[in-house]
Structure 1
Amino acid sequence: MASKKRQKTIYPGVYFLESTHTQSGKPERIYYIFYRKDGKQIEEKAGRQYQDDMTPARAAGIRAQRIQGKEATNEERREEVRAAKEAEAGRWTLDRIWEEYKAQRPDLKGIVTDQNRYESYLQPVFGDKTPSEIQQLEVDRLRINMLTKPRKPPRFRNGKRMEKPKNGKLPPLTPQTVKNTLEILRRIINFGERKGLCEGLGFKITFPKVDNTKTEDLTPDQLRDLLKAIDEATNTEVAAIMKMALYSGMRRGELLKLQWDHVDFERGFIHIVDPKGGASQKVPLNDASRALLENRSRTDSPYVFPGKGGKQRVCIRHEANKIKEKAGLPKDFRAMHGLRHTYASMLASSGKVDMYTLQKLLTHKSPQMTQRYAHLRDDALKQASNLAGSLIDEAVKPKKKVEDLPKRK
């Protein structure tokens, strides 16, 4: 039975109690130290014989350090831990603000993409820092690295294992992706500042320049090759989504969220619920889109293009890129968004659709977004004008006089 009586050692102020080891049950000594500091008598546990590898000599050394103030007492250590916990509880790091941001905005558009970008690029650098601890040099360095350095491919994305690229690396991010990533950083910190959780940044974030006027168009031969690759694709679901994007000009996210209830076959419209532009909108259900949808087999899922288990499909980038590569399209052609540009370019270059109508078909929030296609419309108008000029010239040309042939004698 363990003794509860203190027993002296050869070192002043060092005592021990006989106890038992918590795991083996064998006898074990627990060492205590007694000393006076700031006029107070202090008794503290120094440690256990086996568990803490404590000896009388080591306990005496600890006692001397604490008397001299070179080592904190047990009570001071407990106070430091408590103060650190309180400070941490009131410390709003970027990770913590990000979680609060998501919790208060559960219906946030593009949250899956934002989450991937946050975890891949922002969290490793700034996750454990408060906004006031983030330096401008760090943000500048991150921007340069994202724009110039090859990336390690993620092992998983949206729960799916990603295929490794041939050289083991991915190219640097595009300026648009870098801008979107830094925009997430600014959005999180602005949210925290508005909610009184943190101070704002003491500097302005420098964003890379992005050419938003670029349009992706396909030549007739490229379009023919793409449609052939779509028809021959093994993944018929993604192939159908790509065709629908080309027929309707709808965005990838709008197609993945499209439900049968949103398709009005009777009136000939597709209702786009919660689109990128804000308020719900509708686009005409043209003949090609109608035929595609009417030929689809319906399931119990409410979604037109359901994912696993009938739930909303999340990502089709990998499968769409396979079809794009099989068609031999340019590397910088975006497999889904490029189809939307192709749809718009074909309408604009036809000369039969004005910019206002094109804006409504693309559900652009402002006419400025549609202006990138204006040059195609202008080219079509010039061709029509040139045709008119040619017809007029032809009409006013003097007709060649036909000379009478001499009569035969």
Structure 2
Amino acid sequence: MTTKTLREALNHYREKVSILKKGYKQECYRIQQIANSLLGEKIVREITSVDIATYRDERLQQLNGKTGQQISPATVRLEMSLLSNLFELGRIEWGICDDNPVLKVRKPKMPPGRERRLTSREERLILRYAHNYGNSELYAIIIVALETAMRQGEILNLSWEHINLKTRIAHLPDTKNGTRRDVPLSIKARDALIQLGVAGNGRVFSYTNAGLKTTWRVMLLRLGIEDLHFHDLRHE
């Protein structure tokens, strides 16, 4: 491999490594961010820990183009992990560098975890909203989230063929962590699914992640509930 710049190495990494990952699209976005920076123009073998630290500090001062908010420490940590993996491959397999400068640089500290909790009143409001608007899917999604602590993506990807209503088990063949697991369903969660009309196969819910996000936002606006994320339901 005759790669010279970090940008070229990142493109090679995307084609050979990232493409095999489940989070390919997200990693491509991170690769693009790094490649388009001043760091991307540097020769891989000449990049130092000072260069990595400079990239880290400058990135933390930038704003997200979509949200207008400051780039989070979590985002920068992911980008630094990607760079570290690239340098390890570059050192061991590709022969384009002699060490991994990322290992010598501190990653940004993560802020304290989110403490928002769904109140009993808010739970009654959102369940009544979903029920009164005749949105049985939204109602079932909220119930399943509250009763099982499953992630939004896991709920929306549920398939009827992976749900055993008799034993009250939902099988998740492909989780965020890349492992399979079985999730026990409470009687309340099972009954909410039954109300949808059981099918032999196919997706349980028609919502996409973007669609649910929009519906959730509209619901909160109408109910006057502030700063409640779908993820917050998992804490109950």
Q: TM-score, normalised by structure 2?
A: 0.75
Asked if the contact 1:93–1:130 (Cα under 8 Å) also holds between the matched residues in 2, the reply is no
Q: Which residue of 2 aligns with 1:139?
A: 52
Match of 2:156 in 1: 256
| 1:93 is aligned to 2:9 | yes
Per the alignment, residue 37 of structure 1 pairs with none
Aligned residue type for 1:224: R
Paired with 1:177 and 1:316, the residues of 2 have a C-alpha distance of: 24
Residue equivalent to 1:283:
183
C-alpha distance in structure 2 between counterparts of 1:325 and 1:178, whole Å: 32
Query: Alignment partner for residue 100 of structure 2, among 185, 201, 210?
Result: 201
* 214, 230, 233: which one aligns with 1:336: 230
Listed one character per residue, the Cα deviations across residues 272-308 of structure 1 (whole Å, up to 9, x for unaligned) are: 223345542212111221122112256797222246x
Q: Go from structure 1 to structure 2 and tell me whether the alpha carbon gap of 1:264 and 1:183 turns closer, same or farther (over 3 Å shift).
A: same
Aligned to 2:64: 151
AA aligned to 1:227 is L
Q: Distance in 1 between matches of 2:233 and 2:60?
A: 26
Contact kept in structure 2, 1:263 and 1:271, CA below 8 Å: yes
Counterparts of 1:146 and 1:317, CA distance in 2 = 30
Structure 2 CA distance, aligned partners of 1:258 and 1:278?
15
Contact between 1:94 and 1:188, CA under 8 Å: does it hold in 2? yes
1:305–1:172 distance in 2 versus 1, CA, 3 Å: same
In our comparison, the structure showing a higher alpha carbon Rg is 1
Q: 1:122 aligns with which of 34, 44, 49?
A: 34
User: Take 1:241 and 1:274, find their aligned partners in 2: how far apart are those partners?
Assistant: 18
Q: How does 1:8-407 map to 2 (within 5 A)?
A: 87=2, 93-103=9-19, 105=20, 108-119=21-32, 121-125=33-37, 126-127=39-40, 129=42, 131-153=44-66, 170-196=68-94, 198-199=96-97, 200-203=99-102, 204-211=104-111, 213-231=113-131, 240-297=140-197, 302-306=202-206, 313=208, 315-316=210-211, 318-319=213-214, 320-331=216-227, 333=228, 335-341=229-235, 343=236
SS at match of 1:223: helix
The offset of 1:135, in angstroms, is 4.4
- Aligned CA distance change for structure 1 residues 268 and 238 (closer, same or farther; 3 Å): closer
- Note closer, same or farther for the CA distance 1:101–1:284 as it changes in structure 2 (3 Å cut): same
Distance 1:122 1:317 in 2: 31
Q: 1:202 to 1:188 in 2, by over 3 A?
A: closer
Distance 1:88 1:185 in 2: 15
Q: Which amino acid aligns with 2:164?
A: D
Q: Which has the higher strand share?
A: 1
SS at match of 2:17: helix
Aligned-residue identity in percent = 23
Partner amino acid, structure 2, of 1:182: M
Query: Counterpart of 1:94 in 2: which secondary structure?
Result: helix
Letter in 1 for 2:12: R
Structure 2 residue identity aligned to 1:122: I
Q: Secondary structure at the match of 1:218?
A: coil
Question: Does structure 2 retain, via aligned residues, the 8 Å contact 1:94–1:129?
Answer: no
CA contact (8 A) 2:172 2:181 kept: yes
CA RMSD of aligned residues (A): 3.6
Q: Is the 8 A contact 1:146 1:172 kept in 2?
A: no
Contact 2:5 2:41 in 1 (8 A): no
Q: In structure 1, what residue type is equivalent to 2:191? A: A
Task: Name the structure with the higher helix share.
Answer: 2
